[in-house]
A and B are shown apart, each in its own frame.
Chain A
Amino acid sequence: MLISNMEVIPGKRITHHLGMVQGSTVRAKHAGRDIMAGFKNIFGGELKGYTELLSESRDEAIDRLKQQAIALGANAVVNVRFSTSSIAAGASEIFVYGTAVMVEDR
């Protein structure tokens, strides 16, 4: 499965458009990490726990996007976009969407 955030894929030709596919996940951090983050808000610096958490959730969202695309019979997803929103204190939603297409070698 080819994932790209460009509208075209170099060396490939899009034969079918199969519509939009999406994947989303909502994740929360455990309280321990929230407390650690509270301390970090005094000292500053990177919050490694949150960085990891968000990149894991993004991987999961992409997985779901791929599953939807496979179900449609696509072999690539183009024009992928990410969006993040915090829906409640301590939880954020990761949303990823794109266009499922069928491509063939040019």
Chain B
Amino acid sequence: MIELIVFLVLLGLGYTFGRLAEARHYRSIKEREQLYRSMTLIPIRVPPPELLKHDSTLVSGNVVISVDYFKTIAASLRNLFGGRVGAYESLLDRARREAALRMQEEARKLGAETIYNVKYETSRIGENAAKGLGSVEVLAYGTALIPPTA
């Protein structure tokens, strides 16, 4: 009985706080994406010849985001039936966008306008094999091209 109560309390806490955190995070992501709208991320390997005078440097951004209890349970239920795991989709979407934003932040500090050869890398960390996904890390990196100071 007590176990059931603990489970329900955890589920409730996860649901409320997890949703709040997600909503807050999405708001901040959307705001900052507007700010960095002018900076282009291009996943191609070779820059066009007109950028020959630019300086280049590696920039990266990373973020670790944790699942909440509700998402864990929702995903394990979904595992029984199969299909889209919406709970994890939004988690990874947030992590990727946040990582890209941090990379753009670093690039803007250096005065760059474009980032070439953008790559993403995702890994699970602090995992607990029995419980599935613990938290995910997303790293975004690329080469920032800084226009020459004329």
The interface of chain A, by Cβ under 8 A from chain B, is 2-11, 29, 34, 37, 40-47, 50-51, 54-55, 58, 62, 80-86, 89-90, 92, 106
Bound together, the chains give a CA A104 to CA B71 distance in angstroms of 53
Nearest 5 Cβ contacts at the A-B interface: A44-B68, A44-B18, A50-B64, A84-B123, A43-B17
Q: Please state if A51 and B143 are interface contacts (CB–CB under 8 Å).
A: no
Q: Please state if A43 and B47 are interface contacts (CB–CB under 8 Å).
A: no
The interface of chain B, by Cβ under 8 A from chain A, is 10, 13-14, 17-18, 21-22, 25, 45-47, 51-54, 56-58, 60, 62-69, 71-72, 98, 116-117, 119, 121, 123-128, 134-135, 137, 139, 141-143, 145
Bound together, the chains give a CA A45 to CA B25 distance in angstroms of 8
Closest residue of B by beta carbon distance from A98? B58
Given A50-B125, A84-B137, A86-B127, A44-B62 contact (CB < 8 Å): no
Q: Please state if B58 and A54 are interface contacts (CB–CB under 8 Å).
A: no
CB distance from A8 to the nearest CB of B (A): 6
Closest residue of B by beta carbon distance from A34? B126
Contacts of A6 in B (CB 8 A): 45-47, 56, 116-117, 143
Contacts of A86 in B (CB 8 A): 123-127
Given A5-B119, A10-B47, A86-B127, A106-B58 contact (CB < 8 Å): no
Q: Please state if B53 and A90 are interface contacts (CB–CB under 8 Å).
A: no
Q: Please state if B56 and A4 are interface contacts (CB–CB under 8 Å).
A: yes
Which among A29, A37, A42 is the interface contact of B10 at CB below 8 angstroms? A42
Q: Please state if B62 and A54 are interface contacts (CB–CB under 8 Å).
A: yes
Which among B21, B63, B142 is the interface contact of A5 at CB below 8 angstroms? B142
- Subset of 14 A-B contacts with CB under 8 Å: A2-B57, A6-B116, A10-B53, A10-B145, A43-B14, A44-B14, A44-B67, A50-B137, A58-B139, A80-B58, A82-B119, A82-B139, A84-B139, A86-B123
Which among A8, A11, A41, A84 is the interface contact of B54 at CB below 8 angstroms? A11
